[in-house]
Amino acid sequence: MITYAKLISLNHSEIVKTQEWIESKQAKGSTAFSLKDARGSLHEHSEAALKQSLNRLVKKGKIISIHKGYYLIITPQYLSRGILPPQTYLDGLMKFLDRPYYLGLLNAASFYGAAHQQPQEYFIFTNFPVLRPTKKKGIKVNYISRKKIPSILLEQRKTETGYLNISSPELTAADLVQFEKRIGGLSRAAAVLSELVEEIKIENINENFIKEIPVTTIQRLGYLFEKVLKNNQLAERLLEQSKMKAKRFFRIPLKTQAQIKGFSFDAKWKVIINTEIEIDE
């Protein structure tokens, strides 16, 4: 018969063994692990004992469950935060989920020096089915689903733990316009674009780019390039490549889901100018 004291002793022993296994992974440079990994390495633990050990270590701040079945190891420099920066673990998490992905919008723009501070809200583009947003230790990670992840328009950036897929400057520009409501509106998108244009390579606005971007986004982006940012070179390149791919422009509002009657119309981009774009100096 196992006494209560003996049971406590066994639980403590299992927690110690689990922590030692985690520390050995950390010593080898790992900052995350899956429940499946833990089961395979700590096979002498029962399922209940393993989960109990992991829960105890979560409470002690040694690890954090970032997704069902996936844990981060909290390294010493991030103990006060209780979580690692998303750019250090997103690649591993998305591989665990077996999802193509890229970091986009303001998060990607910050890699190109076009956002003055790293937002506390992250936007990850991935495929379907939809993933729910998560919020851990004050950091929110949002997932935006699209039918296809345009791998040809992505870049890889080195992080302290490996690599991270981010949208190219060109794709970032298009996404900022297409998903402007996610970042605070078209004026915010235009403000970021005003700095991002320095990183956009005109030769990258090509057939590959045009075929991946919705025509309505091309129209709005072209209008912003030309009329707001006064970058005729990028605007003309966008128009030229759109014509080469036989993209047909239709009459659309600059601001979606807003009144369109009584506003001026840009015939070149076929955009109804139903909002005023203001860029803070």
In this predicted model, what pLDDT tens digit does every residue of 205-214 receive, in sequence order? 999 999 999 9
Residues of the chain above pLDDT 70, percent: 94
Residues of the chain above pLDDT 90, percent: 84
* pLDDT given for residue 116 in this prediction: 64
Per the model's pLDDT, the better-predicted residue between 11 and 39 turns out to be: 39
The number of distinct structural domains making up the chain is 2
Q: How confident is the model at residue 160 (pLDDT cuts 50, 70, 90)?
A: confident
Is pLDDT above 80 for 2?
no
In this predicted model, what pLDDT tens digit does every residue of 114-143 receive, in sequence order? 876 666 799 999 999 999 999 999 999 999
Q: Is residue 153 one of the residues assigned to a domain?
A: yes
31 and 120 inside one domain: no
Q: Is residue 278 one of the residues assigned to a domain?
A: no
| H runs (alpha helix) in 42-139 | 47-59, 86-96, 105-111
The tokens 């600059």 sit on which residue? Answer: 254
Alpha-carbon radius of gyration of the chain: 24
The pLDDT of 192-202, averaged and rounded, is 97
* pLDDT given for residue 10 in this prediction: 45
The whole domain housing 10 covers 4-75
90 and 71 inside one domain: no
Q: Which of 13, 4, 33 is nearest to 161 (CA)?
A: 33
Is pLDDT above 90 for 166?
yes
User: Which of 18, 52, 75 corresponds to the end of one domain?
Assistant: 75
Q: Is residue 244 one of the residues assigned to a domain?
A: yes
Q: How confident is the model at residue 71 (pLDDT cuts 50, 70, 90)?
A: very high
Q: Is residue 281 one of the residues assigned to a domain?
A: no
**Whole-number Å distance between alpha carbons of 271 and 215:** 12
